[in-house]
Amino acid sequence: MPSHHAVPSFSVIPGQQVHTVLTGAEKQVVELVEAGYRLHAEGRTVNPPSYFLTFPDRPGSRIIALPASLGGDAPVDGLKWISSVPANIASGLPRASGVLILNDPVTGYPYACLETSIISAARTAGSAALAAATLSRPGARPRRIGFVGTGLIARYIHTYLVRAGWDFEETGVHDLSAEHARGFCGYLEQAGVDGRRIVVHDRAEDLIRGSDLVVFATVAGEPHIHEPEWFAHRPLVLNISLRDLAPEVVLAAANFVDDLDHCLRANTSVHLAEQRTGGRHFVDGTLADVLAGRVEPPEDKPVVFSPFGLGVLDLIVGEFVHERLRETGRLASVDGFFHDLSRHG
């Protein structure tokens, strides 16, 4: 964090450095995410609605701006600017790319620009791991996990769960692309999952019915899972991609979100459920409510966690990366980035 009332130096932090800092720090990231959720619940953040830049000639693509301000012991302001281009997947590129800008809350000067697809994936996976631990029923931790969608986010979520101590008897895989499913299975085997415990499902129904913990990490733009009876065994569902579940599935479940106002917008599954019912009564609470003991997940329904993704989480993880690099002398500044700083010349 820059010193107060001084023009900060400006650093550019590439993805390789971000990856180096965050690899092996998964438990710390989960702790940071939990701290971010608690600060947000206490009203010590500013997290305006995300702004979606869309394109008439590219309806599947968008760039999202997430401005945010984080209070607490290490305050920081900033902006995540992240694009989503699903067509990238066909050419072998990840869907998302972006940058994170960190600003000094005293002077307002930006002091770092970080590659953020890794930060975004890490805070998403940290949130998923935290939700899995917090929302699991006492004495009934899921033993069978299923992934619907097998991209980078699915890989990060699996990694974070394993680093948090989860061990699954069976890992189910379902993807519309057989090639992507095979690639994810290859990652699972490299991560130490016995190939006999990996099951590739041709149908989403079979994966859901055979999993205690279901992770949706797709690029779906609208619901494709419509049958509540597929969830009759009451699994825990991490609705990471937000738009896979139809309203009837949402309304048959207990629902938890990261932030009520943020998540019930942009035609997410829970937003569609609100539009259908005209209210928000079907949302049981936030993850922070459960962490604080204000709400307990019911045992008689499937439990669905839908995180819209708060910009404050990107800030808290991004600042962690910046500080770790600064403390270890690996932070490279851009000389002369701020120029002509004399007010009158």
- Alpha-carbon span 64 to 217, nearest angstrom: 18
Average pLDDT over residues 142-151: 96
CB-based burial of residue 19 (10 Å sphere; 0-12 exposed, 13-18 middle, 19+ buried)? middle
Predicted local distance difference test score (pLDDT) of residue 5: 65
Above 90 in pLDDT, residue 91? Answer: no
CATH of 127-306, one of 1.10.10.10, 3.40.1360.10, 3.40.50.720, 1.10.340.30: 3.40.50.720
Fold of the domain built from segment(s) 11-119+311-327: ornithine cyclodeaminase, domain 1 (3.30.1780)
At 340, the pLDDT band (50, 70, 90 cuts) reads confident
| Residue 194: count of CB within 10 angstroms of its CB | 11
Nearest-angstrom CA–CA distance, 153 and 117: 10
Query: CB of 265 within 8 A of CB of 49?
Result: yes
Topology match between the domains 11-119+311-327 and 127-306 = no
Quote the pLDDT of residue 233: 97
Mean pLDDT for all residues in the chain: 95
Bridge partners, 237 (sequence order): 214, 304
Q: What percent of the chain has pLDDT over 70?
A: 99
Distance CA(95)–CA(84), nearest Å, equals: 6
Domain extent listing, the chain: 11-119+311-327, 127-306
What pLDDT score does 89 carry? 84
Contact 318, 326 (CB under 8 A): no
Contact 99, 114 (CB under 8 A): yes
Least confident window among 88-102, 107-121, 238-252:
88-102
SS3 content of the chain, % helix, strand, coil (to 5): 35, 25, 40
pLDDT value at residue 339: 86
pLDDT at 341 exceeding the cut of 90: no
- Cβ neighbours around 164 below 10 Å, total: 17
Q: pLDDT of 276-305, one tens digit each?
A: 999 999 999 999 999 999 999 999 999 999
pLDDT tens digits, 153-185: 999 999 999 999 999 999 999 999 999 999 999
Tokens at 45, concatenated: 């953040």
C-alpha distances in Å from residue 163, one per residue of 29, 146, 186: 11, 17, 18
Separation CA 271–CA 139 (nearest Å): 32
- Contact assessment for residue 200 and residue 221, using Cβ atoms and an 8 Å cutoff: no
Q: Band of the pLDDT at 2, cuts 50, 70, 90?
A: low
Distance CA 289, CA 239 (A): 18
CA dihedral sign of residues 292, 217, 158, 303: positive
Does 345 score more than 80 pLDDT?
Answer: no
pLDDT of residue 4: 55
Q: Over 70: is that where the pLDDT of 246 sits? A: yes
With a cut of 70, say whether residue 1 has pLDDT above it.
no
Q: For 49, which DSSP code?
A: P
Rounded Cα–Cα distance for residues 150 and 261 (Å): 29
- In the chain, where do the E strands start and end? 11-13, 45-46, 51-55, 58-70, 76-84, 96-103, 110-115, 144-148, 170-174, 198-200, 213-216, 236-239, 254-257, 283-286, 303-306
Give the model's pLDDT for residue 129.
98
Asked whether the predicted pLDDT for residue 3 surpasses 60, the reply is no
Span 64-83, average pLDDT: 95
**pTM for the predicted model, two decimal places:** 0.94
Is 195's pLDDT higher than 90? no
For residue 63, CA distances in Å to 51, 135, 266, 313, 342 come to 8, 31, 14, 18, 35
